[in-house]
Amino acid sequence: MNSTFNPPKRVLMGPGPSDVHPNVLKAMSAPLIGHLDPQFIQLMDEVKVMVQDTFRTTNELTFVVSAPGSAGMETCLVNLLEPGDECIICINGVFGSRMVTIAERCGATVHAIHTVWGEVTSIAQVKEVLAVCPNPKLLAIVHAETSTGVLQPLQEISDIIHDAGGLLVVDAVTSWCGVPLEVDQWGIDAIYSGTQKNLSAPPGLSPVSFSPRAVAVLENRKTVVQSWFLDLNLVKNYWAGTKRAYHHTAPISSIYALHEALCLVKAEGLENRWERHQAVHLYLQVALENLGFSYLVQPQYRLPNLNAVKLPKLVTDEAQLRSQLLQNYNIEVGGGLGDFEGKIWRIGLMGESCTRLHVNQLIGALQKILY
């Protein structure tokens, strides 16, 4: 057995993680300092501002959960839901279903909107469930469904749920820093994301943000938040003020990496990054269709950084083809999840993996294998 682990150099074009910039890897190797060191607190403050900027929000309660995106999902739901609350959750893929599980564990009554995988939740569906549940505590929805490659419009749904007196909770794990996302403009009340996709940082952190409306709900809870670690009443004091309240030991090296990755986004320009993902997506689309692939999602709802595609008819074993790509060309793409297992591929164009060079490597390898 080797005494050290030497991972292979992969070309990461799956649903995440994505390739990481050398500067981010270098940041992770910087010397450790204490998690309450004044210099580290300054770094946390800079991270908070850059997260606010990339979420396009002025929400004061914006910070980074010391755990991956699934913990960000749980942070939003366990802090806003109490036993007996009614909520609406939209399901058109794996991650909507996961939100239902968490909400039910909070003791909430869930009114689920089930949509065919590969399609978006419609305004008519939301209105229909509001007729049954006219006063929901919140509506939770996935902005970019990683299992299907669907990009969900949010503005009209936001208006409807606010008119009903509820909050809008959004999963932005696969949309943040890759496609337009406007927290304040769209009236998003609670949002969470992850660091390993369009940001191209290591997995393990989850940026979150809560609107003043959401904070008011949190401050007026009748019951204690069921999770000690994710209780915002406790953890928020670690990310604010000159004197930080000890809550937990932050993953220092991961915060270094997040800071550097956010600096790279700032240097590129957020809008430029959005445009890059769209342009490379269109370049990939033409190349894939020329090889006989077809897209699962209608053009107006396609997520450019997560391409869900059906394989050419000549491919009888998609798993074997993915294995050939990985073993012979070091290229990773993702297979289908849930209803789409064995039926589609999920090809990621995220952050540092979103370049024409990545597309050319993938297409070149597929041409050699298939033809």
Could you report the per-residue pLDDT of 74-88, keeping only the tens digit for each? 999 999 999 999 999
Domain boundaries of the chain, sorted by first residue: 11-16+269-370, 22-265
Residue 242 predicted with pLDDT over 90 = no
Q: Quote the percentage of the chain above a pLDDT of 70.
A: 99
Q: Are the CB atoms for 305 and 354 separated by under 8 Å?
A: yes
Burial of residue 320 (CB within 10 Å: 0-12, 13-18, 19+) is exposed
- pLDDT greater than 90 at residue 238: no
Give yes or no for a contact between 273 and 177, defined as CB atoms under 8 angstroms apart: yes
Question: What average pLDDT does range 195-214 have in this prediction?
Answer: 98
Strands 344-348, 306-310: pairing is antiparallel
% of the chain with per-residue pLDDT over 90: 94
Q: Where are the alpha helices (DSSP H) in the chain?
A: 22-28, 38-55, 69-80, 94-105, 123-132, 155-163, 212-219, 232-235, 252-268, 270-290, 318-329, 356-370
Residue 271 has pLDDT above 70, yes or no: yes
Distances (CA, A) of 331 to 8, 40, 156, 290: 11, 36, 39, 20
Would you say residue 241 has pLDDT above 80? no
C-alpha–C-alpha distance, residues 291 and 332, integer Å: 18
pLDDT confidence of residue 219:
94
- pTM recorded for the entire structure: 0.96
Quote the mean pLDDT of the chain: 96
Nearest-angstrom CA–CA distance, 102 and 111: 13
Interior angle at CA 210, CA 209 and CA 213, nearest 5: 160
**Confidence band for 262, pLDDT divided at 50, 70 and 90:** very high
- Mean pLDDT value across residues 195-223: 97
Of 291-295, 336-340, 344-348, give the lowest mean pLDDT range.
336-340
In the prediction, which pLDDT does 1 show?
Answer: 63
Tens of pLDDT along 44-72?
999 999 999 999 999 999 999 999 999 99
Q: What is the mean pLDDT of residues 12-25?
A: 97
Query: What's the mean pLDDT in 283-304?
Result: 98
Structure tokens at 94: 């794996």
Query: Any idea which residue has 């589609």 for tokens?
Result: 344
CATH, domain range 22-265: 3.40.640.10
Contact 83, 223 (CB under 8 A): yes
Nearest to 19 by CA among 145, 146, 202, 172: 202
Specify the pairing of strand 167-171 against strand 190-192. parallel
Torsion of CA 174, 175, 176, 177, to 10 degrees: 110
pLDDT digits (tens, 9 = 90+) for 124-145: 999 999 999 999 999 999 999 9
Least confident of 78-87, 134-143, 175-184, 334-343: 334-343
Tell me: pLDDT of 2 over 90. Answer: no
What does the pLDDT average to over 145-168?
Answer: 98
Fold of the CATH domain 11-16+269-370: Aspartate Aminotransferase, domain 1 (3.90.1150)
Instruction: Phi first, then psi: give them for residue 163, nearest 5 degrees.
Output: -60, -30
Give pLDDT tens digits for 297-319. Answer: 999 999 999 999 999 999 999 99
pLDDT bracket for residue 106 (50, 70, 90): very high
CA distance 19 to 42: 27
List strands edge to edge, sheet with 334-335: 294-295, 306-310, 344-348, 334-335
Whether the CB-CB separation of 351 and 18 falls below 8 Å is answered with yes
State residue 3's pLDDT score.
83
Predicted confidence (pLDDT) at residue 171 exceeds the cutoff of 70: yes
For the cut 90, the answer to whether the pLDDT of residue 289 exceeds it is yes
Query: Does the pLDDT of residue 368 top 90, yes or no?
Result: yes
What mean pLDDT comes out for the span 326-350? 96
